[in-house]
Amino acid sequence: MLTYTLIILFAFTMSAICGFIMIPQIISFCKKKNLYDAPDARKIHKSAVPRLGGVSFMPSMLIATIVALLVWVSTCKCNKICVSPWCIFFGIGITIIYITGVIDDIFGVRARVKLLMQIVVASLLPMSYLYINNLYGFLGIYEIPPLVGTILTIGVLVFIMNAINLIDGIDGLSASLTLIALGGLFYIFHREQIWVYCILIAGLMGVLIPFLYHNIWGKEEKNQKIFMGDSGSLTLGYILGVLMIKFCMYNPHVMPYQKGATLLSVTLLLVPTFDVFRVIIVRLINHKPIFTADKNHIHHKLMRTGLTQHQTLISVILLSVLFIIINLTLFNELVVTWIIAIDILIYIAFQYSLDVIIKRKNLQPFVQ
């Protein structure tokens, strides 16, 4: 156990070091090539900021993971690491979505093209026999047919990628919520002693530390600040989605039956998930295209109440942690359907409270 812990810490540390080395180089590259995220009416920042921070995510994670696995093989009793079909398809998928994000950050990619690429990479999972095959009692549903599971898997993975992308509206928010979700997944796989996934997660968590440092505390005037861009948010969303689907798929050869799989997965990404649903509903009510960008996300509304960016970041993080505490407390008391229903009611009450505060400040509850 001590050896595994040291290897996991090694992967985390190496990834963080790679991030601290790569990100300043990326900032310099953006400066030379004039690759900035320019401010506009929809965005929070007021000056141009480099937007390729997410470029560091995949290389840092892969370098740390591969080296850690090689150390693991050389120091542990295992002679080899088995490469399953889903690992190969995962590698193909993350490469495609990463390249799509990089191209979008540099040249721009139409929303429909990005959606198509998301569907393509999401479809790779069922092709590798990795798909959601059990809802563990949500809405009274347990085992589901492969075809239904395939469609659900593609939809869930595409949704998660977009949720992480859309919540990336203020400094540190997307990366912080991803860290919380990764922490929960790490605990789950560590509890089941599935060390390969723990090493992979540690490798991704490590690079988020230097990114958050530059994203939140980096000074624009000193060329230290950077955004993750779509190369980062799409990569994070894809990895999170794949890990959650891996956790939700009941496979007795991997881990025992997890009765709380659906609830835990929803809980770890509850804030970005609910935010996307609410924004889509608001757009439909106002007869707006669902792909139209606006300033109606949870972080926009919190800032319209008078909070600063950092206060808004802390508020959303606390809200996410609150939902985790509530759901873990209710886990053994209520069925998953009722717990998620309670979450929805709490979120609706929270949004209503924000609308009341905004209205009292004589500000518009919805800004196009």
Alpha-carbon distance of 41 to 46, in angstroms, equals 10
- Report domain extents, the chain: 2-255
- Torsion angle in degrees (nearest 10) through CA of 119, 124, 130, 134: 20
Beta bridge partners of 36: 50
The yes-or-no verdict on residue 1 having pLDDT over 60 is yes
Q: Is 230 one of the annotated binding-site residues?
A: yes
Of the pLDDT bands very low, low, confident and very high (cuts 50, 70, 90), residue 362 is: low
Q: What average pLDDT does this structure show over 1-24? A: 92
The yes-or-no verdict on residue 363 having pLDDT over 60 is no
The DSSP-derived string for 199-268 is: HHHHHHHHHHHHHHIIIII--GGGT-----HHHHHHHHHHHHHHHHHHHHS--TTTS---TTHHHHHHHH
The yes-or-no verdict on residue 77 having pLDDT over 90 is no
pLDDT per residue over 328-361, tens digit each?
999 989 999 999 999 999 999 999 999 999 988 7
Alpha-carbon distance of 270 to 354, in angstroms, equals 18
Alpha-carbon distance of 322 to 108, in angstroms, equals 37
The yes-or-no verdict on residue 79 having pLDDT over 80 is no
Beta bridge partners of 37: 49
Strand, coil or helix: 134 = strand
User: Which pair of tokens denotes residue 180?
Assistant: 């919380």
Beta bridge partners of 143: 134
Tally the residues of the chain: 368
What pLDDT was estimated at residue 136?
A: 92
User: Which pair of tokens denotes residue 367?
Assistant: 């800004």
User: Which pair of tokens denotes residue 262?
Assistant: 């659906």
Say which residue the tokens 């001590």 belong to: 2
The yes-or-no verdict on residue 41 having pLDDT over 60 is no
Average model confidence (pLDDT) for the chain? Answer: 90
DSSP label at 143? B
- Give the residue, 223 or 226, on which the prediction is more confident: 226
Backbone angles phi, psi at 143, to 5 degrees: -70, 140
Region class of 210: left (phi > 0), else alpha (psi between -120 and 50), else beta:
alpha
What pLDDT was estimated at residue 366?
A: 47
Q: Which whole-number Å values give the CA distances from 238 to 118, 213, 226, in the listed order?
A: 9, 23, 21
What pLDDT was estimated at residue 4?
A: 84
Q: What average pLDDT does this structure show over 204-211? A: 97
Of the pLDDT bands very low, low, confident and very high (cuts 50, 70, 90), residue 81 is: low
- Torsion angle in degrees (nearest 10) through CA of 323, 329, 333, 338: 0
Cβ(233)–Cβ(118) below 8 Å:
no
Alpha-carbon distance of 234 to 251, in angstroms, equals 27
The DSSP-derived string for 353-364 is: HHHHHHHHTT--
pLDDT per residue over 232-279, tens digit each?
999 999 999 999 999 999 988 777 878 888 899 999 999 999 999 999
Backbone angles phi, psi at 50, to 5 degrees: -55, 145
What pLDDT was estimated at residue 368?
A: 44
In the chain, % of residues over pLDDT 70 = 93
What pLDDT was estimated at residue 45?
A: 59
* 3-state secondary structure labels for all residues of 266-310: HHHCHHHHHHHHHHHHHHHHCCCCCCCCCCCCHHHHHHHCCCCHH
Q: Is 79 one of the annotated binding-site residues?
A: no
In the chain, % of residues over pLDDT 90 = 73
Write down the pTM of the prediction: 0.92
pLDDT per residue over 146-187, tens digit each?
999 999 999 999 999 999 999 998 999 999 999 999 999 999
Of the pLDDT bands very low, low, confident and very high (cuts 50, 70, 90), residue 367 is: very low
The DSSP-derived string for 168-181 is: --STTHHHHHHHHH
Residue 355: partners with Cβ closer than 8 Å, 6 or more residues away: 301, 365
pLDDT per residue over 98-122, tens digit each?
999 999 999 999 989 999 999 999 9
The yes-or-no verdict on residue 365 having pLDDT over 50 is no
